[in-house]
Structure 1
Amino acid sequence: MSEFDVAVIGAGPAGLSAALGLVRSRRTVLLIDSNRPRNAATLRSHGFLTRDGVPPLELRKLGREEFEGYPGASFHAGLVQSVRALQGGGFELAARGIRGAANLEVTVGNIVVATGLVETMPSVPSLRAWYGTDLHSCVECDGYEKRDEALALIGESADLAERALLISQWSNDLIVFTNGADAVSAAEQEALGARGIAVERRPIADVVGEQGRMTGVLLADGETVPREAGFVRPAWTPAIGYLDGLGIALDAEGLIAVDACGRTSVPGVYAAGDSTAPGPEQLIIAAGHGAQVAAALNRDLLGPLLPV
């Protein structure tokens, strides 16, 4: 017998939404989280209906309070270290407690993975200093706040031109910085140029600013290109090292492969949110995915209506 019907790992919008849907379905739910989201540097989150502009940590706090208001809800402050499949079904989960919480070892019937992504930034020394204020990674989340500014797009990935096209919706003063990488083809550069978007291929020395505001991109040859703000394209990988022993299948993007309802290749393991599919990384989309996974998992737990 498992101690909980479901463990939800990660209390961002996807995990909170899944946990809320499951506990409202009268399932016993253990929610585990370290409260270290990758959007913690962002002062305001946007695009979440009725919560536009709320600080990300405040949104998480509100969601957790709602979840914990139900009888079947349990929360543990911790970092999941390992998940082991048990013979006959279910999983043994081990977590290291944080902020005074004890270490945890528990058996659960099912798991929802909602730990999101790990970001690896381009190798620019002071980039992190501007991240969350003048530089952002989610265009849909923060594009409106950077409207009509002189913007930079810094990245080294093959989708840089497509992201530049999207950013041009908010500003007609945009320069793409590839940091010396061959990330924009000649044809893409020509197409961007026809839309008034410049491509700067020289390596970057740093992002510079004065009095707490970004003022430009310093190139390796000493020239500073004036810029007021912008976007960065990190490399994203799912934060799922604790699942290494389960053999969960990944897709071509290196994300968790799931079906339309969030089921992974391992029975009893579901996934929701940014770790599962490329696309707009908006909080409201992650929350919707979490709700969808909760509904599917709850139905799966009921088993077939008729004998098989």
Structure 2
Amino acid sequence: MNIFDCIVIGGGAAGLSTSLTLGRARRNIGLFDDGTNRNRVTQESHGFITRDGTKPHEFREIGLKELEKYPAISYFNTKITEITKGKDNERFTVSTEDDKEFIAEKIVLATGVQEVFPIPSVRDYYGKSIFSCPYCDGWEMREKPLVIIAEDEEYMLHMTKLVYNWSKDLVLITNGVEISEGGALELQKRHIPIKMEPVKKLIGADGHLHEIEFESGETIARSGGFVVPRFYRPITFVEQLGCEIDENGVVVTDGMGRTTQKNIYIAGETEKLVPSSLLISAAEGNKAAIAVNTDFTMERF
């Protein structure tokens, strides 16, 4: 049976960063990842200094290659199916889908989040011509005729105002949801059309949007756009392990990744239930690693 100081679950930017920092601190680390990271459909990742424009799979490969320098880090490309807590959370048994078990004193959850789209066919274009983060992909979509797809008025207005910095040629689609008179007036002042009719289908090829057809049969030409998805944790370890979650779905921490459950830490998108940039996720992974190492130091000195 493999025994680790800490097991890190999730090999995105947060998990890779956590593992790197702990490996450099000479902690015995097991990093587990099943390759279901949210950004795997994205063509390029942006906003990470020295890595701007790197493809997600290349970013991951570079990260894993860097971890190979540290003999205390072991990487496992497999899915964790169960985490069992020992008495007083002093040790954890981790089971994988290939019927193996691992022991660790501490757990870092960096499993990320996944999206649910207001229009399911958005996924056919997601990562190529429709995106969720203007800071990540707004520059590439600048000055193009774009669509904003959202079903909550607060997010409709926020996303539209934000994307307006990159393109003035916008159409807001609410997919059948009414927008208030005040909200509509804000956008009309900028000559931004609002289409509240339900969408019938998106039309395009190879992930590149060309048109949007509404239930009435009307179509509008668009080259791409931004969508506001709903996010959820696809892996429910946060709930299963009893970590406290606030009314907004955010995991309660001390600001350094320590959850309300002893020896369980969290990093990246998993904590906040919202999307995050690679840069921010990596920084949060570093913070969680420092918390883990500090706790080991105090406990073992």
Give the TM-score category using the shorter length.
Answer: over 0.9
Partner of 1:262: 257
1:166 aligns with 2:166: no
Partner of 2:282: 287
CA contact (8 A) 2:113 2:275 kept: no
1:203 aligns with 2:198: yes
CA contact (8 A) 2:124 2:207 kept: no
Unaligned runs of 5+ in 1: 98-102
Query: Structure 1 counterpart of 2:8, which letter?
Result: V
The structure where helix makes up a greater share of residues is: 2
**1:4-15, aligned counterparts within 5 Å?**
4-15=4-15
Partner of 1:30: 30
Partner of 1:143: 138
SS in 1 for 2:294: helix
Which residue among 194, 218, 222 is the counterpart of 2:217? 222
SS in 1 for 2:36: coil
In the TM superposition, what is the alpha-carbon distance from 1:195 to its structure 2 partner? 2.6
In the TM superposition, what is the alpha-carbon distance from 1:192 to its structure 2 partner? 2.0
Query: Structure 2 counterpart of 1:87, which letter?
Result: K
Partner of 1:232: 227
Specify whether residues 211 and 266 from structure 1 end up closer, same or farther in structure 2 by C-alpha distance, changes over 3 A only: closer
Partner of 2:112: 116
What TM-score, normalized to structure 2?
0.93
In the TM superposition, what is the alpha-carbon distance from 1:254 to its structure 2 partner? 1.7
CA contact (8 A) 1:81 1:242 kept: no
Aligned pairs, how many?
A: 299
Cα deviation per residue 1:132-185 (whole Å; 9 max; x = unaligned)? 111111221111110000001112234221111111110001111111124x43
CA contact (8 A) 2:209 2:222 kept: yes
Partners of 2:87 and 2:198 in 1: CA distance: 53
1:107 aligns with 2:108: no
In the TM superposition, what is the alpha-carbon distance from 1:211 to its structure 2 partner? 7.1
Partner of 1:100: none
**1:168-207, aligned counterparts within 5 Å?**
168-182=164-178, 184-207=179-202
What TM-score, normalized to structure 1?
0.91
Cα deviation per residue 1:109-138 (whole Å; 9 max; x = unaligned)? 1111111102111134x3221111111112
In the TM superposition, what is the alpha-carbon distance from 1:294 to its structure 2 partner? 0.7
Single out whichever of 297-306 and 203-212 deviates more from structure 2: 297-306
Specify whether residues 198 and 45 from structure 1 end up closer, same or farther in structure 2 by C-alpha distance, changes over 3 A only: same
1:68 aligns with 2:68: yes
Specify whether residues 237 and 255 from structure 1 end up closer, same or farther in structure 2 by C-alpha distance, changes over 3 A only: farther
Query: Structure 2 counterpart of 1:83, which letter?
Result: I
Query: Structure 1 counterpart of 2:259, which letter?
Result: T
In the TM superposition, what is the alpha-carbon distance from 1:252 to its structure 2 partner? 2.5
Partner of 2:95: 94
Aligned-CA RMSD value = 2.0
Runs of 4+ in 1 over 3 A off after TM superposition: 210-213
Cα deviation per residue 1:260-300 (whole Å; 9 max; x = unaligned)? 10111111111111121266621111101111111111111
Cα deviation per residue 1:47-93 (whole Å; 9 max; x = unaligned)? 11111111101101110111122010101111111111101412111
Specify whether residues 123 and 280 from structure 1 end up closer, same or farther in structure 2 by C-alpha distance, changes over 3 A only: closer
Aligned-residue sequence identity (percent) comes to 35
Partner of 1:50: 50
In the TM superposition, what is the alpha-carbon distance from 1:238 to its structure 2 partner? 2.0
Partners of 1:60 and 1:256 in 2: CA distance: 25
SS in 2 for 1:191: helix
